[in-house]
Amino acid sequence: METVAVKVEELAVNYGSFVAVENLSFNVKEGEIYGLLGPNGAGKTTTIKVLVGILEPRAGKVEVYGTPVSDEVPAKSQVGYVPEEVILLDSLTPREFFEFVTSIRRLKKENVNPKLERFTSAFELKQYFDTPIAALSMGNKQKVAIIAALLHDPKLLILDEPLVGLDARSSKILKELITFHAKKGGAVIFSTHIMEVAEKLCTRVGIINKGKIVEEGTVEDLRKLVRSAEGSLEDIFLKVTEQEAGMQDVIKALEEE
């Protein structure tokens, strides 16, 4: 029987009176790469922030490997997270930052150092290891966040737009790492706007619109659903998020300028 890595049931999140997510449910199983897709402001990042314990939901049940996210420390210990907006402790160097994160996660130096050596070489970060994060480029900051998310061998990886700012090499390495993580039996929740990436990488996708999952399944399932056998994930996405209608008119109007 496949283990459920993430269980989200009837999740609801508000920002004051604004309803960001309502009645949202989905499951992610072990070994799966689950793509969370949706237009800007659809509720992807909000959902992810609930999963990693940054936001508290108004209602609903959220579990990570059977642990409710309200049980903060055990739930957070199983997750590796790369935020959409990478704001780390800018005054620290990557070395100091990793020391802090690994201390909080109670990692042993014997286990963590070989991994760190491998990751920094793979992502070509070694030369910036003693440079304050504030002085790093956006892409290098992203690499620091990615490495910090991987050091404790999390069962669940939650990556919010992780490819933004990465160069082609690092992007390729990260995609390989994600695939390898899933093959090893880990689970991945992956949010992106790049449909080609989601199409190639994700085992299943959930499309969120206006705070609700509007469609869910493999890319094949979704193709069947929208009766578009040749359609790309982008076409499917536009169809199910009701963004396709009127789009030609908008493009025409822009071109007339």
Partner 1 sequence: MKFSELWRLSSTVYKEVSFQSIFSLRAGSSLPGSAKRDIKRLVANAKINTLISKLITTIFIGIFAGIIFLPLTMNITGHTMPRQTIILAGVSAFLAVVLFLIVFMGLQVSTSFVSSKIVDVLTPLPLSKQDVSRIVFLCFIRIFDIPLIAAPAIFLAVYVLIGGPAIGAITSLLGIITAEIFALTLTTILARFFYLKVTRAGGRSKWQTLLRFAFMLVWILPTFAAYFVVNFAPQIVQSFASLTQGFSSFSQILVLIYPFSFGFLASSSAFPGQTDYTLLGLSITASVAYAILAYYCVGWVTQTIRKLGISAMGSGPREMVMDTFIQPQTPWLGIIRKDLRVASRAPSYATLFFLPVIQTAVLAVSFSSFSALDLTTALGILTGMSMITLLLPPTLSSIEGLASAYMRHLPMRKITFISAKTLLSIFTYVLSLIVLSIVAFSMGKSSTLILAYGAVHGFSVAAAVMLELTIVTRKFWKEGFAVGNLYSRLTTYILIVIPGYVLAAIPIISAFLALLFAPSYVLPLFLAAALTEFTLMTLVIMHQK
Binding site for partner 1 (CB under 8 A): 15-16, 49, 52-56, 72-74, 76-77, 79, 81, 83, 85-93, 95-96, 98-109, 112-113, 116-117, 120, 126-132, 134-135, 145
Give the shortest CB-147-to-partner 1 separation in angstroms. 10
Whichever of 152 and 204 has its CB closer to partner 1, that residue is 152
Strand partners, 59: 12
For residue 26, the SS3 value is strand
Whichever of 190 and 237 has its CB closer to partner 1, that residue is 190
Return the number of other C-beta atoms located less than 10 Å from residue 139's C-beta. Answer: 15
Give the shortest CB-51-to-partner 1 separation in angstroms. 9
CA distances from 213 to 37, 44, 148 (A): 9, 10, 30
Give the shortest CB-119-to-partner 1 separation in angstroms. 9
Q: Is 255 exposed, middle or buried (0-12, 13-18, 19+ CB in 10 A)?
A: exposed
d(Cα 38, Cα 257) in Å, to the nearest integer? 29
Strand order in the sheet with 4-15: 18-29, 4-15, 59-64, 67-68
Give the shortest CB-187-to-partner 1 separation in angstroms. 16
Whichever of 86 and 208 has its CB closer to partner 1, that residue is 86
Give the shortest CB-80-to-partner 1 separation in angstroms. 9
Whichever of 18 and 257 has its CB closer to partner 1, that residue is 18
Residues whose CB falls within 8 Å of the CB of residue 180, separated by 6 or more in sequence, listed in order: none
d(Cα 193, Cα 82) in Å, to the nearest integer? 15
Whichever of 87 and 229 has its CB closer to partner 1, that residue is 87
